[in-house]
Amino acid sequence: MIWSVLYAEFIIPVCASRRAEESFQVRYDSVNKISEYTYSSIHSYLEYHSKLVLSLFASVLILKILKMNRGIEPLDPSKINITSRTLHQPPLDELMNVLGEGLTANFAEATVEMADCPDFNRWPYCFYREGLCGNPIILDVGGPAYLLPTVQRDKFYDVKSLLRQLNYNHDSLVIGAGAGPWPHTGSNCELIMKLNVSNHRVSPGYKLNMGVGNGTHYAFVNKSTGKCLFERIVANEDETTFALLANLYISEGKPGKVIKVRAKKRTGKLDFISCMQKALEKQYGDKLVGLGGMFEMKNGKVKQHIMPDFSDTPLTTEAQLNNWLRFYEMETPLIAVGTFVSAETDLDLRVQHFHSSFEESRLGGHYHIDTTPDTIEYEGYFNVAATLYRVDQPPNKLQFGKD
């Protein structure tokens, strides 16, 4: 009886579980060896391998926990607080001048101009939409206060249901940075979201009758090696969830003119996004301005972090947080997506948040700054959002953890 349970509860699920590959690789290899034997042979084999028996039982328990987590439902958007804020949209010439001032103070070469988007539907972007234009909005969801000092596991969201709650009834490009959907991945991770959510071309079985083109990436900390473990979501996978926090730019994904920014050879201390964000803050003060989009980095290396699985002990200081995070120097090219705004305001906004990845190198994480200032090159495309939605704002403002 026990062998039947092990076979049904462990061997079959592990063979079928794509996302458990890393965690159960050792056990999977053992099970492949065992499965060559008959049940009686298994009994004899395991008599000499008591540790393997314990390992199998532990795996059954872990898999049951993963099944339980998979059943966790995203929060109902109608039952959480959502605040809208109309954003200030400066004249584009003025805005480009402001961004240019911030860039030229930190880079030897910098240009800002109006230009057409590249075709983001193509490799290496894989946004499944062509551009950044059409009814642009920003979502600032949750926040680090739901991660620190201890994780609040009920903070689990779905992009589709949020769009429906906001009556955003367009075919939508959704790009940005957040925390991955741990109930589905089995572990905390960095989210690099790139989604095309369709209201008009729907395949049977998709949630809320909304189809998906998925270019999303996850970046995990490999528990065995400490290195980046990269995962690409299958293009047609109906996975639109995330946990704890996200900063998302949403539009109809139409082609059109946007703000193109290029910068080379960093001479200042601020990173590519910070120098533009601080310029906005200085110029506009309480007039909230928000931009979203993407930028590509090449010819250098970049400091990024990846969150490991949730901490067992409270993280109450910035030093404890940094000891928990895993920092890396990653090779370029990397493509980043996210948002930046001119100020935190009373909405306790995250003023900048970008995650980057590149599928061929299988690298990804939370962007901090380049580590090769003499050679680094940036090229970004950004659009000005009309409205910002603050979703499920934490009741307590966190004093660290937003960098």
Q: What is the pLDDT of residue 69?
A: 62
| Dihedral angle sign, alpha carbons of residues 165, 169, 171, 172 | negative
Placement of tokens 């109450």 in the chain: 316
C-alpha count within 13 angstroms, C-beta hemisphere, residue 8: 5
Residues 355, 179 contacting (CB under 8 angstroms): no
Strands 334-341 and 352-358: antiparallel
Gap between the Cα atoms of 403 and 390, Å rounded: 19
The 107-116 sheet, strands edge to edge: 107-116, 257-266, 377-384, 290-298, 334-341, 352-358, 363-370, 301-306, 326-331
The phi-psi region of residue 167 (left if phi > 0; otherwise alpha if psi is between -120 and 50; otherwise beta) is: left
Give every residue of the chain whose pLDDT is below 70, as ranges: 1-70, 200-206, 208-209
Backbone angles phi, psi at 355, to 5 degrees: -115, 145
What is the model's pLDDT at position 204? Answer: 56
> What is the per-residue pLDDT for 34?
37
Of the chain, the end-to-end C-alpha distance in Å amounts to: 53
pLDDT value of residue 71: 73
Judged by DSSP in three states, 61 sits in helix
- Between CA 374 and CA 265 the distance in angstroms is 5
Please answer whether residues 11 and 55 qualify as being in contact, where contact means their C-beta atoms are separated by less than 8 angstroms.
no
CA dihedral 358→183→403→396, nearest 10 degrees, is: 160
Q: Which amino acid is at 317?
A: T
The dihedral formed by the CA atoms of 90, 88, 128 and 212, expressed in degrees to the nearest 10: -170
Q: What is the pLDDT of residues 52-104, one digit of tens each?
A: 445 545 444 444 454 446 678 999 999 999 999 999 999 999 999 999 999 99
What's the pLDDT score for residue 311? 96
Q: Could you tell me what percentage of the chain is helix, strand and coil, using 3-state DSSP and rounding each to the nearest 5?
A: 25, 35, 40
Please choose, from the candidates 303, 304, 298, the residue with its C-alpha nearest in 3D space to the C-alpha of residue 265. Answer: 298
Asked if residue 328 lies in contact with residue 306, where contact means CB atoms within 8 angstroms, the answer is yes
Written as one letter, the residue type at 366 is H
Tokens matching residue 275: 């120098």
Question: pLDDT per residue over 324-369, tens digit each?
Answer: 999 999 999 999 999 999 999 999 999 999 999 999 999 999 999 9
Measured CA to CA, the distance from residue 362 to residue 262 in angstroms comes to 25
Q: Give the integer Cα–Cα distance in Å for 306 and 364.
A: 8
- How many Cβ atoms sit within 10 Å of the Cβ of residue 336? 27
- Residues in a beta bridge with 116: 257
The pLDDT of residue 286? 86
